[in-house]
Amino acid sequence: MSHPNNRQTLAELHFIVFIWGFTAIIGKLLSLEALPLVWYRMVLAVLAVFVFVKLKKLSLRINRADKMRMALTGLIIAAHWVTFYHAIKISNVSVTLACISTGAFFASIFEPLLYRRRIIWYEIALGLASVAGLYLIFAFESAYIAGMITAIISAALSALFAVINGRFAQKHDASVVTVYEMLGGIIGLSIFMLFAGTFTMSQMEFQGYDLWYILLLAIVCTAYPFIASIRLMKHVTPYTFVLSINMEPVYGIILAFLIFGNSEKMTTPFYIGTVIILSTLFINAFFKNYERRKTAKAVRLD
């Protein structure tokens, strides 16, 4: 593994995180509603990843039970993206990204339940700090309550998806997992849209620059970062990777303010609450790195 200070590797990693931060911006720029937006994103992204799988000559053959589990997990990621973009549509980018940052708190609850491991004290403490940050945002940005609640639901779905996906990553190539999860999400979303009456020409029709935005979102902001991040994880420490990922909402909030101006300008308590939430992510990464180093040292001594 390369030293985490390798400039080229770190530069590309932060570029990828910057791109992820841009997904919220594109969501606001698109005239499409959340459901068709996510449908197009998943369809185009799975095509791009499928091409990558074929170029790498990876086998898509896995057992039927795992295919079904991955497809069902794809429904969770689809629901996460739908609630994420819906939150942006009914509030704004800054509010949504601040609330999405609470995903680590939900992960600290889901992981012990699904993996049957002990609850870690500092995860709960940091989770309570995140709640304090959210309280500040809720108290002073009451106009965005619906968007906040939707974004928090999205954060919980994202955490659940990440925890479940950890098991698949141990058994199968990440690209193969993504193909089946995306397909499951597309099928589930298509069925839901048909019954909801939103799978219509008027709902799915592109306006203005929508086609270019959705291509940018699916290929540049979804397929490319996914593939590149897998490659970069081989060259940086997990600690460096996690710290870099935590910069996503920071980049997103700054970009939103620069692009959309006053519509993204929030009160001082909002930024204080956001800093509290983001600080818990970095502190959590620090503790995780400390525990990993401690365990590695104990193994060497044995």
Are 234 and 12 in contact by the 8 Å Cβ rule? The answer is no
Q: Is the pLDDT of residue 269 over 50?
A: yes
pLDDT of residue 3: 46
pLDDT tens-place string over residues 127-185: 788 888 888 888 877 788 999 999 999 999 988 887 887 677 677 777 888 889 899 99
Of residues 269, 285, 284, 274, the one with CA closest to residue 97: 274
pLDDT of residue 157: 92
Mean pLDDT of the chain: 83
pLDDT tens-place string over residues 84-134: 999 999 999 989 998 888 887 787 788 777 777 777 778 778 878 888 888
* 3-state SS record for 134-179: HHHHHHHCHHHHHHHHHHHHHHHHHHHHHHHHHHHHHHCCHHHHHH
Tokens matching residue 278: 């983001």
Mean pLDDT of 224-251: 73
pLDDT of residue 296: 64
Residue 30's pLDDT band (cuts 50, 70, 90)? very high
pLDDT of residue 120: 77
Q: Model-level pTM?
A: 0.85
Tokens matching residue 24: 């919220």
Q: Is the pLDDT of residue 277 over 50?
A: yes
Q: Is the pLDDT of residue 10 over 70?
A: yes
Tokens matching residue 204: 């799915």
pLDDT of residue 293: 74
pLDDT of residue 26: 93
If 0-12 CB within 10 Å is exposed, 13-18 middle and 19+ buried, where does residue 262 land? exposed
Residue 39's pLDDT band (cuts 50, 70, 90)? very high
Chain centroid to Cα 5, Å, comes to 25
Please write down the long-range contacts of 195-203, taking CB distance under 8 Å and 24 or more positions apart: 196/35, 198/33, 198/35, 198/36, 203/33, 203/35, 203/36
In the chain, the percentage of residues whose pLDDT exceeds 90 is 26
Rounded distance between C-alpha atoms, residue 288 and residue 296, angstroms? 12
Q: Where are the alpha helices (DSSP H) in the chain?
A: 7-29, 34-55, 64-90, 93-100, 103-115, 121-140, 145-171, 174-196, 201-204, 210-215, 224-232, 238-245, 248-260, 268-301
Q: Is the pLDDT of residue 13 over 70?
A: yes
